[in-house]
């Protein structure tokens, strides 16, 4: 018994017969080719691709080329490796590298450890409470670093700062937080840890929500307490997230500049107690007007970040999936 055709199938047959009888026009062939291909995707990503090529690739190549040149009143002279030789013999550069390493090594692990503990406390609460605390901790991350640095400069002010005011209640003498070489770097580190913990809290609490509860239930049956389950179950399964936070945090903090520029100008003392490589590059380019040296310092900073990032991937990389 023949099956009756639906209107849709009849229309498809008519279109098929028509396509056989009528040869496609050049415009129709182009239209069909575009429909079958993904060429439209390339058209849509062209602006972003041009932006990347012009403002990233071209700029990086220009900086690398500039590192081998000396600029005199708009004219350049090829000097080879002279800038790099000067960098590796310059005690000011090594002081800046030391300060940068100290800052980064304390801020990144300290901030992640604090965020890890806060995330554990927040994750145990109800969903509404979690949203409130995550928003509260994330809020300082929305504010620009320049504004945060100005606020903390007022907090650290030795005469009318709120921090010295609270210390005076307990009979402590005013402390020179930013003008004493022994306190300046620690003060900036404290500011960076407290102000930057919000992003890590959001990432870690989200990652904790993806851990199967059966793993915690099994550990609880075995007699593990809350903190034992946290360190033995939660933290190992957070290694992919921790790796991301370590690498991104290291890259961003190794380029620290705004806090130093606004709060201490690389000082106090000489060599500067808070002078970092990022601030030294700024000083070489815009204070000393030595663009070639600043470019060479940028290249060295890039390779330093690259080496330390690879080391972190080797140490913290994990193939755990859950």
State the pLDDT confidence band at 251, using cuts at 50, 70 and 90: very high
How many other C-beta atoms can be found within 10 angstroms of the C-beta atom of residue 154?
Answer: 11
State the pLDDT at residue 112.
94
State the pLDDT at residue 3.
52
For residue 59, give both structure tokens.
Answer: 């700029």
Q: What is the pLDDT of residues 140-177, one digit of tens each?
A: 888 889 999 999 999 999 988 999 999 999 988 999 99
Please give the radius of gyration of the chain, using alpha carbons only, rounded to the nearest integer: 29
Whether the per-residue pLDDT at 1 is higher than 50: the answer is: no
Mean pLDDT of the chain: 86
Whether the per-residue pLDDT at 14 is higher than 50: the answer is: no
The topology (CATH level 3) of 84-316 is MetI-like fold (1.10.3720)
State the pLDDT at residue 292.
93
Angle between helices 91-123 and 181-195 (to 10 degrees): 40
State the pLDDT confidence band at 245, using cuts at 50, 70 and 90: very high
pTM for this model (two decimals): 0.83
Cβ neighbours of residue 259 closer than 8 Å, sequence gap 6 or more: 145, 148, 149, 188, 191, 192
State the pLDDT confidence band at 252, using cuts at 50, 70 and 90: very high
Give the domain ranges of the chain: 7-67, 84-316
Whether the per-residue pLDDT at 80 is higher than 50: the answer is: yes
Whether the per-residue pLDDT at 40 is higher than 80: the answer is: no
Whether the per-residue pLDDT at 11 is higher than 90: the answer is: no
Q: What is the pLDDT of residues 261-305, one digit of tens each?
A: 999 999 898 889 999 999 999 999 999 889 999 999 999 999 999
State the pLDDT at residue 140.
84
């Amino acid at each position: 018994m023949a099956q009756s055709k639906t209107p849709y199938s009849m229309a498809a047959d008519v279109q098929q017969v028509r396509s056989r009888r009528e040869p496609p026009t050049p415009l129709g062939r182009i239209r069909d080719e575009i429909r079958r291909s993904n060429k439209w995707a390339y058209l849509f990503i062209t602006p972003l691709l041009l932006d990347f090529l012009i403002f990233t690739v071209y700029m990086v190549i220009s900086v690398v080329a500039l590192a081998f040149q000396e600029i005199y009143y708009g004219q350049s002279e090829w000097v080879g490796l002279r800038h790099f030789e000067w960098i590796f013999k310059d005690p000011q550069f090594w002081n800046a590298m030391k300060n940068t390493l100290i800052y980064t090594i304390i801020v990144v692990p300290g901030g992640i450890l604090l965020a890890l503990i806060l995330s554990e406390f927040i994750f145990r609460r109800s969903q509404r409470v979690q949203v409130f605390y995550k928003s509260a901790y994330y809020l300082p991350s929305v504010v620009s670093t320049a504004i945060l640095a100005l606020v903390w400069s007022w907090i650290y002010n030795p005469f009318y700062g709120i921090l010295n005011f609270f210390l005076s209640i307990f009979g402590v003498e005013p402390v020179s937080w930013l003008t004493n070489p022994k306190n300046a770097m620690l003060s900036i580190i404290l500011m960076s840890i407290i102000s930057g913990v919000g992003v890590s809290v959001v990432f870690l609490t989200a990652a904790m929500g993806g851990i199967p509860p059966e793993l915690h239930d099994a550990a609880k049956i075995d007699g593990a307490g809350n903190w034992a389950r946290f360190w033995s179950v939660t933290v190992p399964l957070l290694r992919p997230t921790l790796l991301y936070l370590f690498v991104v945090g290291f890259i961003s903090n190794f380029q620290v500049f705004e806090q130093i520029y606004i709060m201490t100008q690389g000082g106090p003392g000489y060599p500067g107690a808070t002078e970092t490589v990022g601030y030294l590059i700024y000083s070489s380019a815009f204070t000393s007007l030595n663009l070639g040296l600043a470019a060479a310092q940028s290249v060295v900073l890039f390779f330093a970040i690259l080496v330390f990032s690879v080391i972190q991937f080797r140490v913290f990389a994990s193939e755990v999936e859950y």
